[in-house]
């Protein structure tokens, strides 16, 4: 519901001609929040409004032979077929790589599933928190082992979408050399395991399961979110030079202990150092401390609410808040495209499509006559 559409959104943002093939009744996210007065616009919920910009909607009954024929005609002229079905469904529908490559040998197919296309548990249903839990990341998120916490943003879903984009673009590059396509198999669980990264290597080396430590760090000190008089400020001292700057700036005698000049000494007294900083930082505002710390080039940041993050001058300068035009002439704000290209730098965001809005347009482009389109409409093959 999210991984595949998110991948398609990124590709569409980058200029792909993205055709969203939906069942005649529409896909699932069309109804999510659609009637919520605070999280919808003109009958479309926040999910659909965000994920479906720059896409065209074509309605096809893929379970009918006539509908399958229409889909195959689309595939003849396509580069990529991306699906977010459960494992095995594309093969049942005869829209998997084996079938589609016979129609178009250059086709690249990509399936984003919970667990991939094979294995002892590959057919289990999966959603974001399921793969976050199985993938290990939840066990180190939060402040203690008794209260595991998922990431606040759905990294299980979004990670699958991002890796799908990388996979299909790699396959496109390979096709330019080889002349034929291939299947890209993306498992949301695989993506979560990949993002464990160096912490997984640390586990293999030590044999110790890491534990949740909140916002602090298992190496660096100070590295945490500290309370201020009106919020929180993050201080991230990675290098010893940052520590030297911090000591000079704050001028606290207890922090001038020579053993703190290197990481091992600081880590040994982690609680003491953090306690000293907490006593000081609570006495003034987040903005005060961010300005002061930034002036000494010490890595720091506020813990922004959405309202702060989405109005940050740097975010706005990078065009990371954009207006998505709507059919009634209004607009909905949404996150922009984070991939900035030096040559293809123009960014445009089109209205999320109405259900089946582009069926006629797309089929005409394939050479379908108006009588044939009407016939298929009447038969309930397309909508």
Count the helices and strands in the chain (H runs, E runs).
16, 12
Q: Report the alpha-carbon distance of residue 381 to residue 70 in Å, rounded.
A: 9
Handedness of CA 129, 132, 133, 135 (dihedral sign): positive
DSSP per position, 242-301 = HHHHHHHHH--GGGG-GGGGSHHHHHHTHHHHHHHHHHHHTTS-HHHHHHHHHHTT--EE
Between helices 155-178 and 3-13, what is the axis angle to 10°? Answer: 50
Cα 18 from Cα 53, distance rounded (Å): 10
Give yes or no for a contact between 235 and 290, defined as CB atoms under 8 angstroms apart.
Answer: no
The verdict on whether 208 is a catalytic residue reads no
| Omega cis (within 30) before 222 | yes
Report which of 118, 164, 151 is spatially closest to residue 4, judged by C-alpha positions.
164
H helix intervals, 135-269 = 155-178, 188-206, 240-250, 263-268
Q: How far is residue 179's CA from residue 89's CA, in Å, rounded to a whole number?
A: 27
Can you name the residues that pair with 60 across neighbouring β-strands? Answer: 382
Which token pair is 150? 């998922």
Q: Determine which one of 61, 96, 128, 157 is catalytic.
A: 157
**Which are the catalytic amino acids?**
157
């Amino acid at each position: 519901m999210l991984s595949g559409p998110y991948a398609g959104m990124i590709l569409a943002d980058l200029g792909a001609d993205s055709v969203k093939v939906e069942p005649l009744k529409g896909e699932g996210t069309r109804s999510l929040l659609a009637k919520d007065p605070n999280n919808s616009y003109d009958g479309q919920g926040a999910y659909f409004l965000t994920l479906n910009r720059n896409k065209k909607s074509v309605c096809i009954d893929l379970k009918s032979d006539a509908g399958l024929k229409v889909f195959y005609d689309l595939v003849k002229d396509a580069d990529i077929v991306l699906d977010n079905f459960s494992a095995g469904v594309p093969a049942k529908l005869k829209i998997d790589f084996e079938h589609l490559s016979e129609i178009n040998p250059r086709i690249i197919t990509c399936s984003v599933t919970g667990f991939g296309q094979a294995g002892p548990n590959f057919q289990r249903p999966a959603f974001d928190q399921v793969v976050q839990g199985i993938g290990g990341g939840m066990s180190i998120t939060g402040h203690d082992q008794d209260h595991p916490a998922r990431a606040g943003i759905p990294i299980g879903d979004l990670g699958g979408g991002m890796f799908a984009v990388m996979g299909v673009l790699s396959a496109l590059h390979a096709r330019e050399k080889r002349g034929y396509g291939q299947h890209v198999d993306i498992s949301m669980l695989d993506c979560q395991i990949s993002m464990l990264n160096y912490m997984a290597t640390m586990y293999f080396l030590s044999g110790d399961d890491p534990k949740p430590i909140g916002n602090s760090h298992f190496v660096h000190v100070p590295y945490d979110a500290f309370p201020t008089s009106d919020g929180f400020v993050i201080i991230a001292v990675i290098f010893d030079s940052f520590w030297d700057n911090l000591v000079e700036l704050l001028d606290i005698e207890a922090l001038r202990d020579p053993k703190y000049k290197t990481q091992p000494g600081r880590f040994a007294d982690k609680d003491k150092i953090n306690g000293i900083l907490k006593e000081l930082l609570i006495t003034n505002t987040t903005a005060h401390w961010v300005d002061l710390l930034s002036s000494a080039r010490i890595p720091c940041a506020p813990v922004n609410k959405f309202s702060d993050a989405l109005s940050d001058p740097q975010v706005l300068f990078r065009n990371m808040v954009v207006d998505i035009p709507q059919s009634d002439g209004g607009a909905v704000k949404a996150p922009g495209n984070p991939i900035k290209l030096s040559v293809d730098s123009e960014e445009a965001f089109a209205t999320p499509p109405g259900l089946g809005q582009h069926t006629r347009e797309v089929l005409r482009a394939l050479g379908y006559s108006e009588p044939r389109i009407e016939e298929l409409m009447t038969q309930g093959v397309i909508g």
